[in-house]
Amino acid sequence: MADEDDDIILSELDDEELVQQMHDDLYDGLKEEIEEGVNILLERGWQPYDVLTKALVGGMKIVGDDFRDGILFVPEVLLAANAMKAGMFILKPLLAETGARTIGRMVIGTVKGDIHDIGKNLVGMMMEGAGFEVVDLGINNPVEDYLEALEREQADILGMSALLTTTMPYMKVVIDSLVEKGLRENYIVLVGGAPLNEEFGRAIGADAYCRDAAVAVETAKTLMARKHNQLAAG
Ligand code: B1M
């Protein structure tokens, strides 16, 4: 695909063609082209959130489908992920600009055994954009890391991400640990990741399963407001 794309001048494409081309470029792991595409859309007045969801997340969905179907393999998917991250890097400060005051502090990390971090990073970015403070623990976190960070950061919210059916049960290990230590009620626990669903969130004792980053923000706001009301009521 790269050869035939050599002559394409991104700035000459209309919005729809450009988004389509960015999906192709993400698929091909073309980091610089993705950066250029993101900048062009922003210059054309696109909202950062729309660039993120339509051009980047939309493109990653195609990568995911072909990975699942054995058309793409780990090295290609890694390149696509790097290109996606480069685009997210440009959008991050712009998404954060919309936030005003701190409405809560969240510790977030991908669980032990799992190295997927794009979705988790996106949630962190959107939470910051909405006015939360976010402490990102990165990937492959054992229960001790979560517990230590929650205490150290005096966090309100624990966010956990898992993208593998083999790693999602680890979320329950973390929640059970909070229960055992009598700390569960101190935190709002939100979980997310492609293989999860609401039923799983309920079954492991999370406060909520969040389908995507926007839902994570809305859920965090609602549950924080409820927490403040409960505290005020004594
Ligand atoms: Co992986 N991988 N991968 N992978 N990978 C999946 C998850 C998979 C579904 C692909 C497939 O088969 N279709 C499959 C899992 C199958 C399963 O468990 N049922 C899979 C596999 C099998 C694997 C390996 C085992 C492959 C191998 O080695 N043979 C391996 C595992 C490594 C490990 O973790 N130990 C592996 C490796 C990799 C790469 C390293 C190549 C790369 C990760 C790079 C990186 O993250 N830095 C990768 C990628 C990129 C994917 C896919 C293609 C894309 C994931 C992604 O970034 N999506 C993925 C396919 C898919 O998901 N369809 C796949 C975009 C992102 C924006 O969406 O992460 O879902 P997502 O996040 C969303 C929501 O889920 C939610 O909000 C986000 C934003 O809207 N959300 C949260 C996520 N976390 C949240 C936390 C919250 C709230 C909401 O907290 C409050």
**pLDDT tens, residue by residue, 103-148:** 899 999 999 999 999 999 989 887 886 778 999 999 999 999 999 9
Q: What is the rounded distance in angstroms from the CA atom of residue 201 to the CA atom of residue 135?
A: 22
Q: Which residue has the higher pLDDT, 162 or 58?
A: 162
Does residue 1 register a pLDDT over 80?
no
The preferred substitution site among 163, 166, 188, 196 for testing ligand 1, maximizing ligand atoms within 8 Å of CB, is 163
- Residue pLDDT, tens place only, 28-53: 999 999 999 999 999 999 999 899 88
> Where does residue 71 rank: exposed (0-12), middle (13-18), buried (19+ CB within 10 A)?
exposed
Ligand 1, atom 72: nearest CA belongs to which residue?
A: 119
Q: Which residue has the higher pLDDT, 67 or 186?
A: 186
User: What does pTM read for this prediction?
Assistant: 0.88
The counts of H helices and E strands in the chain are 11, 5
What's the sign of the alpha-carbon dihedral 128, 219, 154, 120? negative
Give the model's pLDDT for residue 2: 47
Find out whether the beta carbon of 66 lies less than 6 Å from any atom of ligand 1. no
Find out whether the beta carbon of 29 lies less than 6 Å from any atom of ligand 1. no
Find out whether the beta carbon of 117 lies less than 6 Å from any atom of ligand 1. yes
Find out whether the beta carbon of 201 lies less than 6 Å from any atom of ligand 1. no
| Cα–Cα distances in angstroms (integers) from residue 78 to residues 116, 216, 230, 233, in the given order | 10, 25, 45, 50
Please name the residues in contact with 116: beta carbons below 8 A apart, sequence gap of 6 or more: 110, 139, 161, 162, 163, 164, 193
Q: What is the mean pLDDT of the segment spanning 160-180? A: 98
Which atom, in ligand 1's list, is nearest to the CA of 139?
A: 34
Q: What is the rounded distance in angstroms from the CA atom of residue 220 to the CA atom of residue 21?
A: 35
